[in-house]
Amino acid sequence: MRRREMISRPNFLDPSVSEQTLKCLGQARFKVQERAPDLIRGSMFTLRDTAQDAASFDRAPDRPQGERQKENPEHGTRNTEQRSTSRKCFASVGHVVAGAVLLVGLGCGKSEPPKPPPPDVEVVQAEQKDVPIWREWIGTLDGLVNAQIKPQVTGYLLRQTYTDGAFVRKGQLLFEIDPRTFQAALDQAKGKLANAEGQLATTQANQVKAQLDVNRYTPLAKEQAIPQQDLDNAIQANEAAKAQVQAAKAQIEAAKAQVQSAQLDLGFTRVVSLIDGIAAIAQAQIGDLVSQGTLLTTVSTVDPIKVYFPVSEREYLDYVKEHPDMAKTQESLTFQLILADGAVYPQKGTFSFADRQVDVKTGTLRLQAVFPNPGNVLRPGQYARIRAITKTAKGALLVPQRAVTEQQGSYQVAVVSSNNTVEIRPVRVGERVGTQWIIENGLKPGERVVAEGTQKVRPGAIVNPKPVKATAQVKPESTAKNESR
């Protein structure tokens, strides 16, 4: 064990040290006994008085008596009186230091911290009023009329006369097919017609001659100037001539029909639009051999435009219960259309019809609404949200949606009582109306609920309520409650 010396000097600035103690106290030497360092507690030192070491050395039984008075060259020799005085002085200093430490400890003790003020929360009163209930569905836009343009004759496509995606008029030329084959067929039909007309003229002339023979032979036969057989032959020839005339006329009609068919085929080489609308991109290219089964393009009438949307069986039954006379209510039912960018379409839609059956695969009924579309802004194939007011909730109790919290499928609100105490109360929610929620059960009109700061409150806590800065208004952008609740 190693020994080190350290000199302890009193603090003369400490007012708790008396003058007598200062006089008695000199420079006392101490031996510091250093133990082996502890890995957990660190190094430990033991202070020992050199005078006590000397006394114990003198009292050691195994030392010779002569060595007890031997002078130590390093520390010198101290007598018994000096050692006693030193012990007393150190005892006084110990008591003084202990008292000072006790006073300092009492003076530095921490007092109990003050309680924090009640948290500030924004509250709003539950409002009761009549509000319209909106229902919303996903709709698909489609043209009022979608005409598929197909050729009626077979031939090579020569040219396209319209621009893809452009608005076309009824009767406007869209495509042209090679007409040479059909022009030749028309010329041939016309030639047959001319031949039939010539044959008709010949048969008519023969019939006229036969009629003259009959007229001439009749009086002669009465006078028996000619045999009766000649008159009979003349009459028979006349009837045959009349039949030939009728046959020639029939051939003429057939030839005319062939001419007309050839003219139609020739006209079908010019493919025109049958309606006013937007023409789609051409499905055939120049030089393709097209036939009656080839789709060239599609022309859609988009003003007005129709919207298909499905409603569930439950929604359909609820609407029927609310409106028993559906024929009258459907006439007054109007729809709004929300586009993909969130903008509300300015034109109002009207109800068109409902499908005859419910889709067995999806369990929905298909409805159709019609919207005016000036400027052809809406196009077939677009997806949009469509909504309508299906009923009006009488005396509905409204709170902001942010005041309602959901926890494991249940809903609750923080109610602030008259003494500013918080109560967490379960509620049953109904429809969503804009940024507000209808509370069906669990809340009374006029009660204050926490709208901002719900994360700060606990049951039974005292809060500092303040009016909410901006109360949400009832807007038509409301959505229907999810049926899964």
Q: What's 25's DSSP letter?
A: -
Query: How far from chain centre, in Å, is Cα 186?
Result: 61
CB 333 within 8 A of CB 388: yes
Q: According to the model, what pLDDT value does residue 296 have? A: 95
Residue 270 corresponds to which amino acid? R
**Could you tell me the sign of the dihedral formed by the alpha carbons of 253, 256, 262, 268, in that order?**
negative
Task: Please give the structure tokens belonging to residue 270.
Answer: 């010019």
Q: According to the model, what pLDDT value does residue 219 have? A: 85
321-372 pLDDT tens trace: 887 777 777 777 899 999 999 899 999 999 988 898 999 999 999 999 999 9
Task: Please give the structure tokens belonging to residue 111.
Answer: 């007092």
Residue 37: helix, strand or coil by DSSP?
A: coil
As a whole number of angstroms, the distance between CA 116 and CA 57 comes to 65
The side-by-side arrangement of strands in the sheet containing 28-34 is 2-8, 28-34, 45-49
The pTM (predicted TM-score) of the whole model is 0.59
HSE on the CB side for 224, CA within 13 Å?
0
Residue-range domains of the chain with CATH: 2-107 (no CATH), 122-130+392-467 (2.40.420.20), 153-289 (1.10.287.620), 294-391 (2.40.30.170)
Q: According to the model, what pLDDT value does residue 325 have? A: 75
Residue 294: helix, strand or coil by DSSP?
A: coil
At 226, phi and psi to the nearest 5?
A: -125, 160
Residue whose entry in the numeric block shows the structure tokens 């709003």: 124
Q: What's 91's DSSP letter?
A: H
**Could you tell me the sign of the dihedral formed by the alpha carbons of 272, 275, 278, 282, in that order?**
negative
β-strands 436-441, 383-400 pairing: antiparallel
β-strands 464-467, 120-125 pairing: parallel
As a whole number of angstroms, the distance between CA 196 and CA 184 comes to 19
As a whole number of angstroms, the distance between CA 230 and CA 10 comes to 182
Residue whose entry in the numeric block shows the structure tokens 């204050």: 448
CB 47 within 8 A of CB 94: no
Q: For the chain, which ranges sit under pLDDT 50?
A: 1-10, 12-18, 20-83, 85, 89, 101-109, 471-485
As a whole number of angstroms, the distance between CA 258 and CA 193 comes to 8
C-alpha closest to that of 464 among 423, 426, 422:
422
Q: According to the model, what pLDDT value does residue 98 have? A: 54
Residue 157: helix, strand or coil by DSSP?
A: strand
Residues 449, 453, 454, 456: what is their CA dihedral angle, to the nearest 10 degrees? -130
Query: How far from chain centre, in Å, is Cα 66?
Result: 107
98-124 pLDDT tens trace: 555 444 444 444 566 777 888 888 899
Q: In Å, what is the CA distance from 196 to each residue of 189, 252, 254, 263, 417?
A: 11, 5, 9, 18, 107
C-alpha closest to that of 464 among 119, 116, 125:
119
Q: According to the model, what pLDDT value does residue 111 have? A: 61
Determine how many CB atoms are found less than 10 A away from the CB of residue 299.
24
CB 142 within 8 A of CB 166: no
At 203, phi and psi to the nearest 5?
A: -65, -35
Query: How far from chain centre, in Å, is Cα 294?
Result: 40
As a whole number of angstroms, the distance between CA 81 and CA 72 comes to 18
Residue 285: helix, strand or coil by DSSP?
A: coil
> CB-based contacts of 331: which residues, under 8 Å, 6+ apart?
351
3-state helix, strand, coil in the chain (%, to 5): 35, 35, 35
Residue 439 corresponds to which amino acid? I
As a whole number of angstroms, the distance between CA 77 and CA 160 comes to 132
